[in-house]
Amino acid sequence: MEAILYLAHAEADESLPRAALEALRGARSLAEGLGGASLTVGVIGEKAEPALRRIAGCGSKRFLCVQGAEFGQARYATDALAAEALCRAAGATIVVAPGTSRMARVLPGVAYRLGGRADTHVTGMSGALAVTRWFYRQRMESTFQRTHRPWFILFDPGCLEAWEGEAGNPSIETLSVDLPDSSKRTKVTGFVAPAADEQTIRPDAKLLFVAGAGWTKKQPDGQAHVKEAESLILEFLRKTKASLGGSKSLVDQSGEGQAILHFMTHLNQIGQTGSTPRHPKGLATCCHGEEPHAVGWRFINERRAVNLDPSCGWARGKADVVYVGDAFQVLAKVNALLGGT
Ligand SMILES: Cc1cc2nc3c(=O)[nH]c(=O)nc-3n(C[C@H](O)[C@H](O)[C@H](O)COP(=O)(O)OP(=O)(O)OC[C@H]3O[C@@H](n4cnc5c(N)ncnc54)[C@H](O)[C@@H]3O)c2cc1C
C-alpha cells in the first residue's frame, strides 16, 4: 500500500505559500485516487506548527514537522536533512511537494539519498497514479507512471486549485534532526531584489504584457522612439500590475549595443528558449515571432495582439483578437483610460 507524504516549507510569517496549498490538493487527490493510501503531512520551518494547524482538515492522520531557527532559512544542507528525516519518519513511498525554488532545489538531492526518483515541473495528474509534465520546451506533454519508490513529485505552481479547508488543532510530532556544524556553514544574510515597482516579472498577475522588437524599430516617421516606448510600457505596467514578457529579438538587443528598453532582461524572454508563463490574459505588442506566439504564451487563456502589420502571421494565427494599429498610440490611449499618474 502506498504511503504518501505531503512535504512543504513554512514562510517566515508562518504561513504556507500558495504553491504549497496547490500541491496539497494534488496530494489529497492522489490519496483519494489510490483508495487505501495513507496521507502524512510534514512541514519544515522556523515555526512549522501554525502551518500544520492551518491545514488540519486536509484528511491526514499524521502531522510531522522539523522546526527551529536553523530551518527558517532556505539552505540546502539543513533543508535536505529535515526533508530526509520527514520522509523516513513517514515511511513515504510517494512524496508530493510544491515546486517552489526552495523545494525544487533540495528534493532531487533527497530523492538521491533515499534511493528514489524525483520528477519536477509536474503539471497535473491523470488517472489513479499517473502524472503529466511537458518536455522539449513545452512542445510535448507526457503522461507517465513510475514503479520505482520513493517517488518525489513536485507540482509546478499555478497548475492546481489551492486546497481550502478547515484549520484545527491536530496532534503534531516534532522530529529532532542532528545538524552537524558543516550543515550550518552557509548563512542567508538577506535578499537583494529590485524594488517592487522595478520588478517586472509577476507570476501572479492577471495579464502578461508581451513587448516585441517593434518597440525599438524605426517608426513611420523614420525614427526609433525607444525612450517613449520605455515610458509608455512602464506606465502601463505600473497601472495594471501586469507581468512583462519580451521576445528574444528584443531581449537580445542589449548584447548587440542597440538602443534598448533598460528594464528588459533575458529573464523576461518568453518562447521556446524562454519561459512559458501562466496568466489568464495576454497582450502582445509590436511582436511578430513564432516562438513567443506559439510557445511563449501557449498557457495564456485569452490572447490579444496589437500590430501595424495586418498580415502578421503569428499574431493572426495565435491571438484570439488582433488589433491592427500603432502600439504607441494604442498604449498611450489605454494608459489615459486607466487614469491616475
Ligand atoms: C531556435 C530558436 C529559438 C528561438 N526562441 C525564441 C524564443 O524563445 N522567444 C522569442 O521571442 N523568439 C525566439 N526565437 C526568435 C523568433 O523566431 C523571432 O525571430 C523573434 O521572436 C522575433 O521577435 P519580434 O517579434 O519581437 O521582432 P520582429 O520580428 O522584428 O517583429 C516586430 C513586429 O513589430 C511590429 N511593429 C513595429 N512597430 C509597431 C508599432 N508601432 N505598432 C505595432 N506593431 C509594430 C512589426 O509589424 C513586426 O510584426 C527563436 C529562434 C530560433 C531560431
- Cβ of 272 closer than 6 Å to ligand 1, yes or no, is yes
- This prediction's pTM: 0.71
For residues 121 and 36, which has the higher predicted lDDT (pLDDT)? 121
Comparing CA positions, the residue from 56, 79, 84, 59 lying closest to residue 172 is: 56
Comparing CA positions, the residue from 277, 23, 298 lying closest to residue 141 is: 298
149-199 confidence digits (pLDDT tens): 999 999 998 899 999 999 999 999 999 999 999 998 888 888 777 666 678
Neighbours of 126 (CB within 10 A): 12
Ligand 1 atom at minimum distance from 247 CA: 11
Domains of the chain: 3-184 (3.40.50.620), 207-338 (3.40.50.1220)
- Cβ of 138 closer than 6 Å to ligand 1, yes or no, is no
293-322 confidence digits (pLDDT tens): 999 999 999 999 999 999 999 999 899 999
| CA–CA gap between residue 324 and residue 308 (Å, rounded) | 5
Phi, psi of 79 (to 5 degrees): -65, -40
- Cβ of 247 closer than 6 Å to ligand 1, yes or no, is yes
| CA–CA gap between residue 178 and residue 82 (Å, rounded) | 9
Average pLDDT, the chain: 93
Ligand 1 atom at minimum distance from 274 CA: 8
| CA–CA gap between residue 304 and residue 203 (Å, rounded) | 19
Q: For a substitution probing ligand 1, which of 308, 311, 330, 331 has the most ligand atoms within 8 Å of its CB?
A: 308
In this prediction, residue 259 has a pLDDT band, given cuts at 50, 70 and 90, of confident
Q: Would you state the pLDDT for residue 135? A: 85
Contact 71, 78 (CB under 8 A): yes
Residue ID of nearest Cα to ligand 1 atom 51: 291
- Cβ of 328 closer than 6 Å to ligand 1, yes or no, is yes
- Cα 273 to averaged position of ligand 1 atoms, centre (Å): 13
37-78 confidence digits (pLDDT tens): 999 999 999 999 999 999 999 999 999 999 999 999 999 999
Ligand 1 atom at minimum distance from 273 CA: 8
Residues 6+ apart with CB under 8 A from 218: 224
- Cα 257 to averaged position of ligand 1 atoms, centre (Å): 18
At 2, the amino acid letter reads: E
